[in-house]
Amino acid sequence: MPHEPSLPLPGPEALTHSAELTRAIAAEIGRTGWIDFARYMELALYTPGLGYYAAGATKLGGAGDFVTAPELSSLFSQTLARQVAQLLAQPSDEVIELGAGSGRMARDLLLALDNLELLPSQYSIVEISAELRARQQETMLALPAALRRRVRWLDALPPRITGLVLANEVLDALPVHVVAWHDDTIMERGVTWDGRAFAWAERPLAAGPLLDRARALSPAPPYISEISLLVPALVRTLACALERGALLFMDYGFGSGEYYHRQRDRGTLMCHYRHRAHDDPFFLPGLQDITSHVDFTSVALAAVDAGLELKGYTTQAHFLINAGVTDLLARTSPDDSASYLPLAAQAQKLLSPAEMGELFKVIALSRGIEGELIGFRAGDRRGLL
């Protein structure tokens, strides 16, 4: 297995785990000699009991590999709660959260919505990882029983939704295809195994939705990038299920124009291991996260095609400021430096363009919702369509 010299090696137990997953992926490749990258990413992240999200790695937080906004600070979910409260129009409305990680956003949101006296009828979590689902259940134990009772876990998306669907950093975790545009042909990049290591290998892209999308994008060759078929498919499914309410996705990425910009000719694939970001998806399978940025134009188009309205699209910094993060921060006096300084540092990370403020975006897609959404009052970027 190739080892990036700058990355720390894990202990023997973790190495054994990674070797076991490597054997499983190699065995699947052995059947045909090649798998597409989306399949590799699915196996590396979600193989039951072995994949990064399906096994015991800490993943989120200081002791893990990466920190998400709700993990970084409760200010994020407390501010988001103001937007959620505006969208929960009827007492019967529910919230559905996809991919809830440690459960921290769910816990903080429910506490904040309780303070605002605008609780959803139910808070449902759809989580693919059994290990994270157990962790979420543990996190919910900290909630008062009256709030805990509203939380449930669903094995599949409900066929009809009235209320709000939320997902923070979930779209970036869905397996992507990797495509190479050459002067005279379009190839799909996949993975081979030579008995010792995984390697990239290209095959002609067969007719189908991936080739159609690759042709429609057609950046100037030579060019390599990712195409997600799962992101628009998931958005379409949710949009069709949504009878009234909104979908709110928070993630890092940009519109198609910026995503497939000529200067971004190596794509956006990124791996996270012990708080270091690098671009080798074959490093220690099962022990590192693999992600790609989100093409928000594809999100918006899938939703609009299914009859939703693009209600807002802006940066995380604009969204949080519009929804009142600075008021929430001002509730703690700067004289109380022990409380104020850590909160101010967290707010800085959430808002700074050099940290999460600019690269992370929030998009709202709605059906039957009148009026302006508070989170999108200034800094509107809906020109992405």
Q: How far is CA 49 from CA 131, 136, 261, in A?
A: 9, 17, 38
Interacting residue with ligand SAM among 81, 98, 176, 364 (CB under 6 A): 98
Q: What part of residues 141-170 is at the interface with ligand SAM (CB under 6 A)?
A: 168-170
Report d(CA 317, CA 211) in Å as an integer: 36
* Residue 99 interacts with ligand SAM (CB under 6 A): yes or no: yes
**Of the residues 128, 187, 241, 344, which one makes contact with ligand SAM according to CB under 6 A:** 128
Residue span 1-40 as binding mask against ligand SAM, x where in contact by CB under 6 A, dash where not = ----------------------------------------
Report, in Å, the least distance between residue 245 CB and ligand SAM.
19
How far is Cα 202 from Cα 182, in angstroms, rounded to an integer? Answer: 11
How far apart, in whole angstroms, are the C-alpha atoms of residue 42 and residue 283? 15
Give the ranges where 306-363 is alpha helix by DSSP (H).
316-322, 325-330, 337-351
Q: Per-residue contact track with ligand SAM, 170 to 209, x per CB under 6 A?
A: x--xx-----------------------------------
In 3D space, the residue among 206, 189, 211, 217 whose CA is nearest the CA of residue 38 turns out to be: 189
**Residue range at the interface with ligand SAM (CB under 6 A); choices 123-131, 297-305, 347-355, 377-385:** 123-131
Residue 196, Cβ density class (10 Å: 0-12 exposed, 13-18 middle, ≥19 buried): exposed
319 and 280 in contact (C-beta within 8 Å)? no
99/245 with CB nearer ligand SAM = 99
- Establish if 100 lies at the interface with ligand SAM (CB under 6 A): yes
Nearest residue by C-beta to ligand SAM? 99
Helix axes 104-115, 74-87, angle to 10 degrees: 60
- Binding stretches for ligand SAM (CB under 6 A): 53, 60, 68, 70-71, 98-101, 105, 126-129, 132, 168-170, 173-174
